Structure formats: structure tokens, C-alpha cells
Structure 1
């Protein structure tokens, strides 16, 4: 009996430290999550601030990445040969390694017009603009702008890298989660961080594309007749008036051709009425003679 009591006491003494360790390990993981989350968020803010200050300081010195400049041009001109200009512009864009992103052409009896969005490599931007405008009869608008997005790019890139580091910390914390509540909390934070990372990646890709390929918004047109001459002069006014009259005559002729069913219907109605009147007169004429 005495030996049994001593054995039970020894067993209880050995189990007590183990129970204490289990109690310590079962502490709420939410507190551990918060303790890990605070330094992670602080790291994001610190790294973002360093990236921003580094981009400002780098304005007078060498930047860690190449300068990011987005170039845009707006061109509008008239041409004396619409089809020839269209082919020349397509060949020019192809020559400089660009492509036509969109095109909208409108043709009327008075004017042909084409609106084109062109993407061309930034290195060939100036040469492409000069080649496109070289064949213009008259340039109405030529506007070129350059936007430096280097500072925004550096800052956004640094913040994205900081968020990637935070994402890895949350993945490690997720592996240590002990219950469903902790897992859901960490996964919610991971989802938010990953959405920010995807948004930053999308913005960086957008800037990279627009830096690599400059945009040219082009509009060119050919005017066939205009009652309001672009420059004064009797001969030009006379010639444009003659063209206006000729175009009006063509439009009238085409309108008559397109209305042939109506004209045929009117002719048949006229013939029908005329025959009816003749029949009415022929029936009434003998009656008048008998009287």
C-alpha cells in the first residue's frame, strides 16, 4: 500500500510539467496573430516610406530603375488623296514596328474621315510622328506630351514588394493556426493583401506597356466640297460651288433612282385615273346627244 502511494505521487509529479506545457501551447493563437501582424504592417509603412523618399532623392542621382516616360501625340490633318494617305500611314506604322489599336472611318458625299489609334515603340515615336505628318496637305493640330511616371513606378514597386513580404508572414502564421476562427482571420488578411498585390501588378504592367509603346491619336480627312472655303478667293469659291452643284445633282439623281417604286406607283395611279375619266366622259356623251 505504501509503495502504491509513492508510485502514484511520483507519477503525478511527472505529469504536472507536461500539463503546464499543454496549457501554455493552447494559449489563444489570436494574440499571437496580432503580435505578428503589428510588425508586418509597420514594415509595410516603413518600406513604403523608404521607397517614396528614395524616389525623391533619386531625382538628382541615378535611379535604381530606368526612367519611365509615357509619350502621347495628337495629330489632325487634311489630305488630298484619302486612300493614298491611308496606305502610307499603315506602311509607316508597320515600318517602325507599331500597330493600329483601333480605327473608325466615316465616308459622306462631302468628306471622308478616319480616326486611328496607333501604338508605336517609344524609341521610334518621334520618327513615326514626322513620317505620318509629312504627307499632309494642311496640319490642323499637332500636340505631343510626355509624362514622367518614374516616381510613381518606384513607389508602387516598393510597396508591392513590401506586401509580398507581408503575405509570406501571414502564410507562416496560417500554418501555426490552431482552430477555425484563427484560420478564417488569417485567410481574410491574406485575401486583402493579395488583392492589393494584384492591383499593384496590374498598374505596373499598365505603365510598362505605355512606356514601351507610345500612343498616337490620329485623325485625317479629305474634303470633296465645302460651301465655306478654307481660304478666300473667287476662283476657289467658284470651283467649290461648282463641286457643290455637281454633288447636289448626283445626290438628286441617286435619290430619284432609289425612289423608283414610288414613281412607278404614281404613274399607275395617274393612268388609272385618266382612264376612269375617259370612260366617264364616253358614257355621258350619248346622253347629252339624246337630249
Structure 2
């Protein structure tokens, strides 16, 4: 009994000494990014680097309203009583408005005199200049005003140009880091393409700025001199003029006919061929 009790005590001591311990809990916490640490850079569609924080800030930042870009044009046609006085009056109105005459075409015949002008005036003086040009006109044949809003196109083109400029600077930085001739040539090819796009965008923007700042007026005025073309005073001078015009008309017809000489030659050969066939046929019938 003593031995049994001793053996049981040893077994209990051994069991307690080999009792499994609970597994240690290992906690891992990902290192937080510091507030002042920049977010990882991402490559945008244009090939330039921009961080996610900046992209998000730009996306949600306030964008001021763009200035409206409107191109105004007008077309005016009217008749005048005194051609010389009308020409002087138009020049005075344009000069007073701060504009200038871009192009002028004057022509006429025996029945009327006509003057066609392309006028450029500051956009702020466009409406008042149009009103002064048409005021006091006895017969206004046409007056039309057209406004074209190019604000969206202007803003889009300006944004694209700025993106190209930023991309150009990025390629310049890459060019400084190029180590081989191949890398240099590749970067320079990209720079050439980007610079061409920048120059084209600048030219288009400058053109739209000029069109917006100076409006265009297409003006046409005329003076009717007579309902029919004056020819010559008196009966006999008019008869002589009619005979001369008739002779000139005949000469014109002859000259036009000479221009069709290939067809005339073909017609002559056909006529000769048909005539000979007709004669030969008549002879054969007569002999039969």
C-alpha cells in the first residue's frame, strides 16, 4: 500500500510538470504613415509623376469660373444716296470706335457703285459701332449678328497646353539623367513632339484671343446710279454703239466655235463619209 501511494504521487507530479502552457499571442501592427510623409507617387496618363494626395486635392479643390470667350461677327448691307459721303462717314465711325479697316474692295459698273469692307473693332465697342453704322440708313438690305462661345474650347486647350508644359519639364529632368545615346535620342524625340503640340496650342489660343478681343463687321454699301446702263446720248450714237456690240458678239461666238475645232473636224469627216456612201448606194441602184 505504501508503494502504491508513492507511485501515484510520482505520476501526479510528472503530469503536473508536463502540463501544456498556453500559446503566446503575437500582436503585429502595421507601421502608420506619418502625417507629413508623402504618399507613393503614381504615373499619370501624360507620363509625369504626381502623388495621390496632390491628385485628390486638385480633384476636390475649388475651380474659379473661367472668363467667357465670345467671338462676335456682324454682316450689314445697305444702300446710300451719296457714295463718297458714305465712305467718309464709315471711316469716321470706325476710327472713333478704336477699330480699323482690315480689307476693302470697291467696284462698280454703269448702274451702281459698291464697296465691301472687313472691319475690326474692339469687342466692347461692337454693339455701339453696329448701331452707328446702320443709323439713318434709308434702305437696309441685311443686318445679321452672330455670337460664338468658345469658352469651353479655350479652357480645354489651355489645360492641355499646361499639361504638355509640365510633361516637357519632366522630360527635361529625365534628359539630364540619361546615360546612353539611345536614351538621349528617345527623350529628345518625345520632347520634339510635345513642343510641337505646345506651339500649336499657343497659336490657337492667341488666335482665339485676337478674335475675342476684336470683333468683325462685314459691311457692304452701294449707290444705285441708274436703272439701266447709260450708253451714249442721242439716237445715232446709240445705234453705232449697238452695231459695235453686235459685231463684238459675233466675234465672241466665232472664237468660242474655234475652241470646238476637234468636234468640227470629226463632223466634217462624218459628213464626207456619209455622203460618199450615199452616192455609192445611188450608183449601185441606178446600175441595177
Task: With the length of structure 1 as denominator, give the TM-score of the two structures.
Answer: 0.60
1:107 positional shift: 2.2
Q: Is the 8 A contact 1:69 1:211 kept in 2?
A: yes
Alignment of 1:94-109 (within 5 A): 94-109=95-110
Find the residue that maps to 2:46 and give its secondary structure: helix
Alignment of 1:105-116 (within 5 A): 105-116=106-117
Alignment of 1:140-289 (within 5 A): 140-227=141-228, 244=229, 247-249=230-232
For structure 2, the residue ranges without an aligned partner over 5 or more in a row are: 1-40, 50-55, 245-288
In the alignment, what sits opposite 1:41?
A: 46
1:144 positional shift: 0.3
Q: Distance in 2 between matches of 1:218 and 1:189?
A: 47
Q: Structure 1, residues 5-57: CA drift from partner, whole Å, max 9, x if none?
A: xxxxxxxxxxxxxxxxxxxxxxxxxxxxxxx996461559xxxxx9xx99xx9
Cα root mean square deviation, aligned: 2.9
Q: Distance in 2 between matches of 1:165 and 1:136?
A: 55
For structure 1, the residue ranges without an aligned partner over 5 or more in a row are: 1-35, 45-49, 228-243, 260-291
1:88 aligns with 2:89: yes
**Aligned residue pairs: how many?**
190
Q: Distance in 2 between matches of 1:226 and 1:133?
A: 25
In the alignment, what sits opposite 1:136?
A: 137
Find the residue that maps to 1:171 and give its secondary structure: helix
Q: Is the 8 A contact 1:40 1:169 kept in 2?
A: no
Classify 1:250/1:133 alpha carbon distance in 2 versus 1 (closer, same or farther; 3 Å).
farther
Structure with the higher fraction of residues in helix conformation? 1
Q: Considering only CA atoms, is the larger Rg found in Structure 1 or Structure 2?
A: 2
Task: With the length of structure 2 as denominator, give the TM-score of the two structures.
Answer: 0.60
Q: Distance in 1 between matches of 2:42 and 2:191?
A: 11
Q: Distance in 1 between matches of 2:149 and 2:78?
A: 28
Q: Distance in 1 between matches of 2:42 and 2:132?
A: 57
Q: Distance in 2 between matches of 1:137 and 1:222?
A: 12
Find the residue that maps to 1:220 and give its secondary structure: strand
Q: Distance in 1 between matches of 2:219 and 2:211?
A: 17
1:67 aligns with 2:72: no
Q: Distance in 2 between matches of 1:223 and 1:202?
A: 44
Classify 1:218/1:250 alpha carbon distance in 2 versus 1 (closer, same or farther; 3 Å).
farther
